[in-house]
Amino acid sequence: MNGETRPKQLLHLVFGGELSRLDDVEFADLDTLDIVGIYPDYKSAYAAWRAKAQQTVDNARMRYFIVHLHRLLDPDATSRAAG
């Protein structure tokens, strides 16, 4: 290593698809889910989410989401940080 420190990876998944109903988070067809990507931080995930959401603004049933993968991979990290 050359002494550089990298910021901690806080992985986020951005994905979306068309919902069956507007009042529920159930996808109409799981085979057509749009996996936008995995990002190293919330800021870049939010930028990707926003871009995809704006592209599909004319389809009321299309929704995109950000999943905090780092919380799923290390669920105790949140409680350690709070404590």
pLDDT band for 76, please (50, 70, 90 cuts): confident
Domain boundaries, the chain: 12-64
State the pTM of this model: 0.80
Q: What is the dotted CATH code of the domain comprising 12-64?
A: 3.30.70.2400
Q: What is the pLDDT of residues 28-63, one digit of tens each?
A: 999 999 999 999 999 999 999 999 999 999 999 999
Residue 1 pLDDT > 90, yes or no?
no
Residue 67 pLDDT > 70, yes or no?
yes
pLDDT of amino acid 12: 97
Handedness of CA 22, 29, 36, 65 (dihedral sign): positive
Mean pLDDT of the chain: 88
